[in-house]
Amino acid sequence: MDYQALKTRQRLERDSHPPNLALRVHRALSWLNRAEQIAEDVDGHFIFLWIAFNAAYATDLDEKYRISERGAFREFLQKLASLDKDKTIEKLVWDEFSGSIRLLLDNKYIYQDFWNHRNGKLTEPEWHRSFSAANKAARTALGHRDTPTVLSIVLSRLYTLRNQLMHGGATWNSSVNRNQVRDGGNLLSKLVPVVIEIMMNNANTFWGDACYPVVDLAGMADGAR
């Protein structure tokens, strides 16, 4: 499943979608399209895919109700898993990306507490204990084939990578982070289209208010939302 196939379907169905879902899908597809156009630029590819994922899942909540990104990932992925009748996400995780996921989990450079240690917020034994405990929890989830938990842990690691790139904490086309950027982008390139497809398959499910909703749609062209 790629952008073109999903966009063709979205054009046929969008008028019947609830406004919040229509906006989420429209935005997510726009960023997926851009990501597919620059797949050879692994940094840009990863960034645009992350934005596409964010457009699909993020909810406009009052600050006092916000939960951690990992909690948000887990809640969203559990919802998707319960709606994924064909077990597409499960197959993606266990049949195609289990090796890449294990490599990402073992990569200390996308584990936030490693950087907290480097910034003087944690001692070396503290971040090592944290990393060991986190990976033990991840291995337990892997052993139980707990797809939402595994993916939420992986996405929380990729969120650190996202921060590195988006906040200028890495060099474009750097030689020191190619493995995690490449593996993260490859995973997102398959996950994001599946997420969008499941959401369209379940148009009547409540997905919540999209972040920064369009204020005035009057006279607005399809590509301007």
Per-residue pLDDT of 134-185, as tens digits, reads 999 999 999 999 999 999 999 999 999 999 999 999 999 999 999 999 999 9
pLDDT of residue 71: 73
Distance (Å) of CA 195 to CA 54, 121, 216:
11, 36, 27
Query: What pLDDT was estimated at residue 208?
Result: 87
pLDDT digits (tens, 9 = 90+) for 44-63: 999 999 999 999 988 754 44
Ramachandran sector of residue 172 (left: φ over 0; alpha: ψ -120 to 50; beta: rest): beta
Region 183-207 average pLDDT: 96
CA–CA gap between residue 160 and residue 111 (Å, rounded): 7
Instruction: Provide the pLDDT for residue 225.
Output: 57
Nearest to 3 by CA among 201, 188, 196, 198: 196
pLDDT for 1:
85
CA distance 214 to 27: 11
Cα separation, 46 vs 50, whole angstroms: 6
pTM for this predicted structure: 0.90
- Write out the two tokens for 36: 């597919």
Cα(214)–Cα(217) distance, rounded to whole angstroms? Answer: 7
Check whether 76 has a pLDDT greater than 60. yes
CA neighbor of 45 nearest in space, from 154, 178, 176, 222: 178
Among residues of the chain, what percentage have pLDDT more than 70?
A: 90
Cα 159 → chain centroid? 8
Q: What whole-number percentage of the chain has pLDDT above 90?
A: 83
Query: What's the pLDDT score for residue 145?
Result: 92
Question: For residue range 134-147, what is the model confidence (pLDDT) as tens digits?
Answer: 999 999 999 999 99
Looking at residue 95, the DSSP 8-state letter turns out to be I
pLDDT at position 83 over 80: yes
**Mean pLDDT score of the chain:** 90
d(CA 214, CA 29): 16
Question: How is residue 128 annotated by DSSP?
Answer: H
Q: Is 59 exposed, middle or buried (0-12, 13-18, 19+ CB in 10 A)?
A: middle
